[in-house]
Amino acid sequence: MVTPIVQVRMADAGDMYLTWRWIAGVQGYGTGQVPRADLTRVTDLLAGALPGSGGAGMRRAFEDSQLRAYDSELRLADALADALWPVQLTEQIRQVTSTLGARPLVRIQPSPRVAQVPWELLAVDADTRLVDLAEVSIAVPLSLRRGAATTGSDEVVLVLDPRVPGGSLGSVLGQPDEDLLALVRRHGGRGIGLSDVDRDWLGAELRRGARRLVYVGHVSSAPVEGGQSEDAQLHLSCGPATTGFAEVVRGHRPLSAKDLLLGTLSARADGVAGARIWPAPPRVALIACESGGDLRFAEPFGLASAMIHNGAELVTATRWPVPTSHAFHRLAGLPATSRPLTELVLAVDSAHDQADPVRQLADWQRGQLARWRADGRIEHSPLLWGALSTLTV
């Protein structure tokens, strides 16, 4: 049976305008408008609830974010849905599900002002969340799409917690536990972190051919006010002598989205495009702080977008800074045996191994939501899992 799909497009023009159209399974369409005042009110609410960068921003999220307690998180999800999500579209989704007996796929192309909205969490009807009714993915702009990746390989390239020179960026995952080691063994050990994994190694591995790439580490997002989304940076083990567009940061040179896009084209006459140096496999996971922040820009050419441009068909990234397991231990008092970030990494890896990764990841999020509803424990809070966003072509 064909999965019913509805495409939702949003645009900022003072007010926010949206249109939706069913493009598979059924026919239908609709339009909506969000007044500027309502848009500002709810995006400000959301911004105040999200974890910030750095220790102070993360501490504030654990201490007083609306996302840390179930009742306040539900009020936020209700306010977002009330302002941003058309009741008519919810009714259509319910009708389609009832008629076809299949949960539809909602493909959202958000405007920059709502790019960090966790659409899956929207309380579209009492405590019914959008993820209860549908699978959700983010549709990338047409300008980013190019030919799909081709690979005859079944390899998975893992870049887990690469050692960053200079000592300013510490471990994200902490001491690898048995679950992480099992993940590495399952994929042949290619790219296990706490080691030197630089851009040359990454390029060589990707050019050998791969089915998937999983990166877990540090990302530095570009400031939205600067308008240069291509300045987003992936931190690997590249020393200061490495050639690249990013400035040296405390003893190392990050790999920027601009590098992934342009490669060496502007460096020499025989330069090579980034897509030839770092060809992206069909599925990419970037688990790092605000790794999917591209769509906050009017011209989205950040890290997730660069992977799409370089051949990926699907990229799972994060909308905001994600708390590490250590943050849960230090700021929420969880025992060291609790590893929420590791669980998220394993869930994304498992989803990307399935025929329908969007549905598989949504199933995991529905499981997390069920735990959040049942016990309201901080490790089940969408502070972490609500950040996930899957971009698709």
DSSP element (H, E) containing 80: helix 70-84
- What residues contact residue 235 under an 8 Å CB cut-off, 6+ apart? 162, 164, 169, 217, 218, 219, 220, 252, 254, 255
Q: What angle do the packed helices 325-332 and 54-64 form, to 10 degrees?
A: 60
Helix, strand, or coil (residue 384): helix
Pairing of strands 135-139, 388-392: parallel
Return the sign of the alpha-carbon dihedral for residues 159, 163, 164, 165: negative
Distance in angstroms (rounded) separating the CA atoms of residues 190 and 43: 41
Residue 24 Cα distances to 87, 124, 242, 389, angstroms:
21, 22, 47, 22
Measured in whole angstroms, how far is the alpha carbon of residue 8 from the centre of its chain? 18
Distance in angstroms (rounded) separating the CA atoms of residues 103 and 254: 41
pLDDT in tens, the chain (393 residues): 789 999 999 999 999 999 999 999 999 999 999 999 999 999 999 999 999 988 899 999 999 999 999 999 999 999 999 999 999 999 999 999 999 999 999 999 999 999 999 999 999 998 899 999 999 999 987 777 665 555 667 889 999 999 999 877 889 998 888 998 888 888 875 555 557 899 999 999 999 999 999 999 999 998 898 889 999 999 999 999 999 999 999 899 999 999 999 999 877 778 899 999 999 999 999 999 999 999 999 888 999 999 999 999 999 999 999 999 999 999 999 999 999 999 999 999 999 999 999 999 999 999 999 999 999 999 999 999 999 999 998
Distance in angstroms (rounded) separating the CA atoms of residues 313 and 149: 7
- What residues contact residue 216 under an 8 Å CB cut-off, 6+ apart? 159, 160, 161, 172, 173, 193, 285, 287, 288, 345
Phi, psi of 361 (to 5 degrees): -70, -35
Residue 359 Cα distances to 18, 91, 132, 211, 285, angstroms:
24, 21, 12, 19, 15
Domain residue spans of the chain: 5-139, 149-381+388-392
Looking up tokens 């068909």, which residue turns up? Answer: 313
Both tokens assigned to 87: 């009741």
- Side-by-side strand order, sheet with 255-256: 219-220, 233-234, 255-256
Both tokens assigned to 121: 């969490």
Q: Is 342 left (phi over 0), alpha (psi -120 to 50) or beta?
A: alpha
